[in-house]
Structure 1
């Protein structure tokens, strides 16, 4: 990997993930400027030593940009502003976005002599803060090479080049809906275990060492659900959105994943009951309230 001559990078979106990625790049020696429409988000970033701006247009032509945005529509309005001035080398979009959007943005960037890659990430706040995220990359070989210095700083090389533009988005959405399905199914299973008088934590540990085990049973339930903490940092609203989007992307090409559609509907029901700001691990409160101290939606948490 060639070290870039210009280590200026903008991070667009300074929420939980974007703010942590900005801090990681700053600590790695990059000259970081952050942008977020929220003054509170900018202030939090500044406390980490990161320079910020309240003007997205002031970042036009900056050599590198990392996007961490809530939706594909915002990506579509942001990228043209970054490309409005010459000088952009690569835009790394970590947003859980839509493949059609990424294809259009990659084409637009190429017209401007720049690279755009879709690189949605997994690993949560801890991965973002330590530069150990994993990424699903959709890009041409040329675009990936241009973006690699920033991508390496964020992932330590832990990324998969899935294919051309948009392919990273597809696989990330599939990853998320599989996680959504597992969160619901593990909750239901542990609910059955508890009904039989079995400690859910014991059941989860036993299952995790066998063929039904997963990161959900081994880590998410013991750490965030059975403790009642529900503090993963990823929201119910975002997971419900991703599950619905995964089904929508499938249907756009004529696929009809029946089980995944059922999962997406289940998350929409939980979203209606718990609200978008609830932690995504609170799905357990909807599918198996007896196993979590937080209890069913609308109930008073156990003391």
Structure 2
């Protein structure tokens, strides 16, 4: 497999997460070139001192590449273009993708002497900006070794090698569907507290110190729901997709997770009401609208990619 001490790296996808990861790599001394089809995203990256290109083909053969893309289908079209020229050492895919796609891309890269690892991340914009993300890594041992310098820069060593190619995707999808379930259950619980005349913020703080507590109750609800800001930077459309994908992956291997399937259905209902661009924490508006200043969504609002505002 290719090896390199070259610090040149491509970042493909300069949205909220990709742009922050590109900036982190730039500060860590990597020679970063970013690509995004959006001129605005490229301009935002350029403002932080990152070189950009409007043509993905310009990045072919770059020793290292980080992908931060919307879905598996774009991963499938991107990786062959990066491998079109010799020189690639490792491609680190932080996309919440599909395990079958990651297995195919890992085989494609290996055939050309390169590494491909699925390394979907958790930690949001703040983690991406500070180099403190968590990553769920699926890779062979050889591929992991090739990708490790980049993983260390993005996570500070806070990554878990789950298993072979595709396994990182599986565990990330399970993580997200569990978070999706918790967002619903905590919202319903705090709605009950409010109905009893209890301050939901106090209820959330108390629960967070006990056995029912979680990151959702301790952070997401106090910071984004109860304040009404709903500005996590992660969309409801992406969370609804991830919950559905988690159930699909389970079904493909003969499992029938009934509770998780019900959760995925709840997110599809919210998606129909709020649209894919709503913040994912706005699920609370459909679960317990009384606890968020944004209130319940309009039932007759637009759902074609815009957020219905109460």
- Residue equivalent to 1:130: 130
1:84–1:301: structure 2 CA closer, same or farther, 3 Å change rule? closer
| SS of equivalent residue, structure 2 residue 232 | coil
CA distance in 2, matches of 1:292, 1:184: 13
| Matched position secondary structure for 2:105 | helix
Mapping of residues 234-253 of structure 1, within 5 Å:
234-253=234-253
Which aligned pairs between 1:285-296 and structure 2 lie closer than 5 A?
285-296=285-296
Following superposition, the deviation at residue 301 of structure 1 comes to 7.7
Matched residue count:
300
**CA RMSD between the two structures:** 1.3
Whole-Å separation in 2 of the counterparts to 1:151 and 1:205: 34
Residue 55 of structure 2 corresponds to which residue in structure 1? 55
**What's the CA shift for 1:58?**
1.0
| Residue 99 of structure 1: aligned partner | 99
Q: Is this contact kept in 1: 2:11–2:32, CA < 8 A? A: yes
Deviation by residue 1:241-282 (Cα, 9 ceiling, x = unmatched): 000010011111111100000000000000110111111000
Mapping 1:60-75, distance limit 5 Å: 60-75=60-75
Deviations 1:97-150 (A, max 9, x none): 000000000000000000000000000000000000000000000000000001
Superposition deviation, residue 4 in structure 1: 5.2
2:175 maps to 1:167: no
Distance, in Å, in 1 between the alignment partners of 2:214 and 2:287 is: 18
1 CA distance for matches of 2:267 and 2:30?
Answer: 39
Q: So what's the TM-score if we normalise by structure 1?
A: 0.97
Distance in structure 2 (CA, Å) of the matches to 1:152 and 1:158:
8
SS at match of 2:9: strand
Contact 2:297-2:309 at 8 Å conserved across structures: no
Please show how residues 15-54 of structure 1 align to structure 2 within 5 Å: 15-54=15-54
Does residue 220 in structure 1 map to residue 220 in structure 2? yes
Identify the residue that residue 85 of structure 1 maps to in structure 2.
85
Q: Aligned to 1:19, what secondary structure does the other structure show?
A: helix
Spell out structure 1 runs of 4+ moving beyond 3 A: 299-302
Q: Is the Cα–Cα contact under 8 Å of residues 132 and 154 in structure 1 kept in the other structure?
A: yes
Q: Provide the rounded CA distance (Å) in 1 between the counterparts of 2:50 and 2:309.
A: 39
1:5: how far off? 1.8
Which residue of the partner structure matches residue 303 of structure 2?
A: none
TM-score by length of 2: 0.95
Question: Structure 1 residues 256, 290: CA separation in 2 closer, same or farther (over 3 Å shift)?
Answer: same
Q: 3-state DSSP class of the match of 1:95?
A: coil
Match of 2:108 in 1: 108
Counterpart CA distance in 2 for 1:248 and 1:264 is 10
Q: Deviation at 1:298?
A: 1.9
Distance 1:175-1:219 versus aligned 2 partners, 3 A rule: same
User: How much does 1:24 deviate?
Assistant: 0.3
Partners of 1:301 and 1:273 in 2: CA distance: 10
Q: Distance in 1 between matches of 2:224 and 2:280?
A: 10
User: Do residues 157 (structure 1) and 157 (structure 2) align?
Assistant: yes
Following the alignment from structure 2 to structure 1, what is the Cα–Cα distance between the partners of residues 207 and 63?
48
CA separation in 1, counterparts of 2:208 and 2:132?
Answer: 24
Which consecutive unaligned segments of at least 5 residues does structure 1 have? Answer: none
8 Å contact 1:8–1:32 — kept in the other structure? yes
Cα pair 2:131 2:156 within 8 Å, conserved: yes
